[in-house]
Structure 1
Amino acid sequence: LVTGGYNNGAAVNSAELYDLSTETWTTTDSMNDSRPDHTASVLTNGKVLVTGGYNNGAAVNSAELYDLSTETWTTTDSMNNARWAHTASLLTNGKVLVTGGFNSFILNSAELYDPSGGIWTTTDSMNDSQAEHTAFILINGKV
């Protein structure tokens, strides 16, 4: 699943699926919001969570879910902080940790998405502000 980005300098909401068996691309339902510089995470229930991004000169706080079985997008609770160039990490408990990024400045804030309730909660901020960074789950479960 390839989502959003820029096309001819404009933010887009398009989405495409690549079929490995036929080596072909097909368009699928477009996202509700146009967004480059966002993240996408495959949840344990198989849905894809897309968060944040940048559009119309501002960071975006919206989030949406892609359901592969219906090939449709639905909105979910918005993040507490608008952000782009952030990271999203699927944790071992099924929640998604979103960290850093840009808003009007580089962020150190972090928040958790709980797919079971579809809500965001703020969590402890990072010690340093980070944007365009990487994050991954270590073998001990820490990020």
Structure 2
Amino acid sequence: VIANMSSARYFHTASLLKNGQVLIVGGWNGDKELNSSELYDSRSETWITVGSMNYARQIHSAVVLNNGKVLVSGGFTEYIEMNNAELYDPSTRTWTTTGSMISIRSGHTASILQNGNVVVSGGYYRNKELNTAELYNPSTETWTTTGNMTHKRCEHTASLLTNGQVLV
């Protein structure tokens, strides 16, 4: 049996870091959105509370970048959807803000591409599903729009295929 996290939560993200630890970020505790984050170390079977995000959020996305940092984007807090994004640095266990997405969205996916960029797709804004997508460039910390999906999607999944395409 694994010990409990310090904060009960759902609608959070879990990201496997390059060092084997798992980063748990944000979510909802049944009363409010959380900005806290915790690391699970499978070797010691322990939880470590680490730095908090600048913004509490739930139903956001998280993806591990090639440089080992974790990009967290979008979601909502207090029923307000967001377009802001933050980076977690495992070496310092701290959060910094990065460029904001062009579109406000929650319930979206984020996928790391073979070139190291991140594609964010779908989600919803004001209870309307989105078919839009955008790219994050970790080198410049900027977002650009890219082609729209044929169909609107939210609360979906996405997988990077061996040919470099993303299956949504």
Could you state the TM-score of these two structures normalised by the residue count of structure 2? 0.84
1:90 aligns with 2:90: no
Cα-Cα RMSD: 0.7
Return the alpha-carbon distance in structure 2 between the equivalents of residues 3 and 135 of structure 1: 19
Query: 1:8 deviation in Å?
Result: 2.6
64, 70, 74: which is aligned to 1:52? 74
- Consecutive unaligned residues of structure 1, counting only runs of 5 or more, are none
Aligned partner of residue 69 in structure 1, secondary structure: coil
Query: 1:13 deviation in Å?
Result: 0.3
* Aligned match of 2:123: 101
Q: Percent identity?
A: 55
Return the alpha-carbon distance in structure 1 between the equivalents of residues 42 and 158 of structure 2: 27
Query: 1:34 deviation in Å?
Result: 0.4
* Aligned match of 1:30: 52
Return the alpha-carbon distance in structure 2 between the equivalents of residues 107 and 43 of structure 1: 24
Contact 2:136 2:142 in 1 (8 A): yes
CA deviation map 1:84-143 (0-9, x unaligned): 110000000000000000102110110000000000001111111100111111111111
127, 131, 137: which is aligned to 2:160? 137
Aligned partner of residue 108 in structure 1, secondary structure: coil
Query: 1:7 deviation in Å?
Result: 1.1
Aligned partner of residue 41 in structure 1, secondary structure: strand
Return the alpha-carbon distance in structure 1 between the equivalents of residues 111 and 31 of structure 2: 28
Query: 1:20 deviation in Å?
Result: 1.3
1:65 aligns with 2:65: no
Could you state the TM-score of these two structures normalised by the residue count of structure 1? 0.98
Query: 1:54 deviation in Å?
Result: 1.1
Q: Which structure has more RCO (C-alpha within 8 Å, separation ≥ 6)?
A: 1
Return the alpha-carbon distance in structure 2 between the equivalents of residues 68 and 51 of structure 1: 17
Contact 1:101 1:131 in 2 (8 A): yes
Moved over 4 A (4+): none
- Consecutive unaligned residues of structure 2, counting only runs of 5 or more, are 1-22
1:123 aligns with 2:138: no
